Amino acid sequence: MFIQSFLRVPEGNSLAFMSRRSLHQRLEAHQRRTEDGGRVEEEAGLEPEEFVRQWLMELYNAAAWVESLGYVHGDIRPSNLLLDSQEHLKLADFDRVALIGTLS
């Protein structure tokens, strides 16, 4: 696994543009809502199993990499999982990263 960063400066990082959307947005697109905004069970179909397996492995690898540096992400959720143009999952939003073992 490698990390791709287009620009790194003291003020921050500029990363690759994720042309798809977050996993949260993708999952929301598969749900039907009632007129009052309530969620109804998934209707538009499930994600292909090959993508689910790929995303799970990519999430596992990303979390393991962060932990190998001695940190924990602290905010893994679908809205912080981005999809690129090839449907690869990228872990984002590192503002809750903490050293492993610190109290939160």
Q: What is the rounded distance in angstroms from the CA atom of residue 64 to the CA atom of residue 3?
A: 13
User: Rounded to the nearest 5°, which phi and psi values hold at 63?
Assistant: -65, -40
- Give the pLDDT confidence of 27-71 residue by residue, as tens digits: 887 777 677 766 665 555 678 899 999 999 999 999 999 999 999
Tell me whether residue 75 is one of the annotated catalytic residues.
Answer: yes
- Give the pLDDT confidence of 71-102 residue by residue, as tens digits: 999 999 999 999 988 899 999 888 888 999 99
The widest CA-to-CA distance across the chain, in whole angstroms, is 48
Structure-model confidence comparison of residues 94 and 104, the more confident one: 94
Q: What is the rounded distance in angstroms from the CA atom of residue 44 to the CA atom of residue 30?
A: 5
Whether the CB-CB separation of 76 and 64 falls below 8 Å is answered with no
Domains identified in the chain and CATH numbers? 47-103 (1.10.510.10)
Global pTM exceeds 0.95: no
7-9 vs 12-14, strand pairing mode:
antiparallel
Give a three-class secondary structure readout of 32-75: EECCCCCEEEECCCCCCHHHHHHHHHHHHHHHHHHHHCCEECCC
Identify the pLDDT of residue 11. Answer: 72
Q: How confident is the model at residue 20 (pLDDT cuts 50, 70, 90)?
A: low
Of these residues, 36, 75, 93, 95, which one is catalytic? 75
